[in-house]
Amino acid sequence: MSPTDHLPDVAADPVAPPVSHARFSIGDVVRHRLLEFRGVIFDVDPVFANTEEWYQSIPETLRPRKDQPFYHLLAENAESSYIAYVSQQNLVPDDSDDPVEHPAIAGLFDRSADGRYGLKRLHRH
């Protein structure tokens, strides 16, 4: 008997949620694929981790699956800066090289000469 023989076969379990992998990382600049905003990722949830009320407030035709990574963004649009919570299926890389002008960026990130955002040393684990 091997040390893992007593563990259930998760791949064969039809009830187990699918395993999803984050396509983006902290510090990546992304934009929403449908809405006019972009931002810098500052946290990642492996699956939906917001309130059910927030989830239900999304129109049903646009509501994303919960079994995918969700990203916390320091976001901006033409009118304002804010925090956004966005599903992976609704994000694409932003290749514009334009800086994100969110006021909280300076407290969390340093921007390198190549335009990438790296967490300040005091925020790294």
Query: What is the per-residue pLDDT across 89-110, written as a single tens digit (0 to 9) for each?
Result: 999 999 998 999 999 999 999 9
pLDDT in tens, 46-98: 999 999 999 999 999 889 999 999 999 999 999 999 999 999 999 999 999 89
Domain count, the chain: 1
The dihedral over CA atoms of 57, 59, 101, 82, expressed in degrees to the nearest 10, equals -10
Question: Has residue 58 been placed in a domain?
Answer: yes
Question: Has residue 112 been placed in a domain?
Answer: yes
Q: What is the domain range of residue 63?
A: 16-123
Q: What are phi and psi of 33, to 5 degrees?
A: -75, -20
With beta carbons less than 8 A apart as the criterion, state whether 27 and 105 touch. Answer: no
pLDDT at 9 over 60: no
- 48: domain CATH number is 2.30.30.390
Question: Has residue 106 been placed in a domain?
Answer: yes
Looking up tokens 């927030």 gives 54
Question: Has residue 86 been placed in a domain?
Answer: yes
Question: Has residue 33 been placed in a domain?
Answer: yes
Lowest mean pLDDT among 16-20, 55-59, 109-113: 16-20
Q: What are phi and psi of 57, to 5 degrees?
A: -75, -15
pTM for this entry: 0.81
Mean pLDDT of 8-20: 49
pLDDT on residue 12: 42
pLDDT on residue 11: 42
Q: How far apart are CA 29 and CA 116, in angstroms?
A: 8
Question: Has residue 6 been placed in a domain?
Answer: no
Question: Has residue 9 been placed in a domain?
Answer: no
Question: Has residue 10 been placed in a domain?
Answer: no
